Amino acid sequence: MVIEESNAINYLISNVLKKDFNVSSAFNCVDAMQQLRLDLEKDLIIMDISGTDSDNFELLEHISTSAVLNNIQRVVISDSDDEQLKNKTTALGASLFVTKPFDPLYLSEKINALVNLNEKSIVRKRKFSFNMNIF
């Protein structure tokens, strides 16, 4: 799931990843939560967070503390390289922090590695899908 309010970045990430994954998109936290309520079996969420995005931090924290959603890998993309922001998102369960501008192929490689690592640790069997939302 990609959560990104910028149509261009959302489109870019979705197109790069759709070669290997089923990708869904959301443009804000409300849309992302509605999608998560309908489909809890997301493998990974990519979200855009800047230092002032309190809604995005709340969603990241909600995912981290939810027994149902905590197994979803989280990737944060940000236009800030602030160390405190990186530490805060890592503390909230982000597996990867990528600073804008980013190389889409680099992002794709990192996401493939995260999903493959996560697949090895998941005991339950389910259809392999990838849903992407960026905030």
Residues β-bridged to residue 96: 75
Our count of domains for the chain comes to 1
Predicted local confidence at residue 114, as pLDDT: 87
pTM reported for the whole predicted model: 0.81
pLDDT band (50, 70, 90) for residue 107: very high
Integer Rg of the chain from CA: 13
CB 100 within 8 A of CB 77: yes
Instruction: Examine residue 22 and state whether it is found in any structural domain, yes or no.
Output: yes
User: Which residues constitute the domain of residue 43?
Assistant: 2-121
Read off the pLDDT of each residue in 37-56 and give the average, rounded to a whole number.
81
CATH number for the domain that contains residue 10: 3.40.50.2300
Q: Which residues does 10 contact at the CB level (< 8 Å), separation at least 6?
A: 2, 4, 25, 27, 134
Predicted local confidence at residue 37, as pLDDT: 86
Decide if pLDDT at 128 tops 50: no
Predicted local confidence at residue 52, as pLDDT: 64
Instruction: Examine residue 135 and state whether it is found in any structural domain, yes or no.
Output: no
Q: Which residues does 27 contact at the CB level (< 8 Å), separation at least 6?
A: 3, 4, 5, 7, 10
pLDDT band (50, 70, 90) for residue 124: very low
Instruction: Examine residue 132 and state whether it is found in any structural domain, yes or no.
Output: no
Read off the pLDDT of each residue in 72-92 and give the average, rounded to a whole number.
91
